[in-house]
Amino acid sequence: MRSAITILIIMISALTTGCANLVAPSYSADYAAVDNLKHSKLNKMALGKVQPDDVRAKVNQISLRGANLTAGDTTFAGYLERAMTNDLQEAGLYDASAAHRIDIVLIKNDIDVSGFSQGVGQIEIELTLTASGKIVLKKNYATTTQFESSFAAAVAVPKGQIEYPNLVRALLSKIYRDQAFLLAMQIQ
């Protein structure tokens, strides 16, 4: 019921604002994945800048049938950075001055609502994990989400808008459950 109300509010907002900027909803963690991090014996981590930070970069621009989706007061790279920082803090693993550091390059980032009944979200990153300046993991992570959409833009656009945090959650959950990532976070 709550999600139906949220969709209705977003639909009304989209209809009344025309092609104005839409803002991606706030990220919320996959708490099972964060708990997995919390209960593993992992080193504290710093998070470097997630790139690209240029608002004009293709990965920092999402169009939903002519409406611009934004990440609010940041870029989509910044959105991802905040999401991961919050997750690491929640797991008790974040330390800005830690010898272990995660750097990320956002490679692909899109929500496609052009289909008649189904939308697709795609995100891909290159993650580099260093321990005391030495690279211990360099790996690409990608995920795709699918969601119910519509031919009608008044339905498709708000559904694409609310899908963005789900896409980021799916990506981060995949990283947090990856054995190569967990092993690299244990390296001294």
- Asked if residues 100 and 128 have their Cβ atoms less than 8 Å apart, the reply is no
Domain residue spans of the chain = 2-184
CATH number of 2-184: 3.30.160.150
Mean pLDDT in consecutive groups of 10 residues from the start of the chain, 188 residues: 53 50 96 94 94 95 93 97 98 96 98 90 98 96 93 88 97 97 91
- Cis ω before 25 (30° cut-off from 0): no
Kind of pairing, strands 100-112 and 45-51? Answer: parallel
96 near 112, Cβ under 8 Å?
no
pLDDT of residue 3: 58
Number of Cβ atoms within 10 Å of the Cβ of 113: 26
177 three-state secondary structure: coil
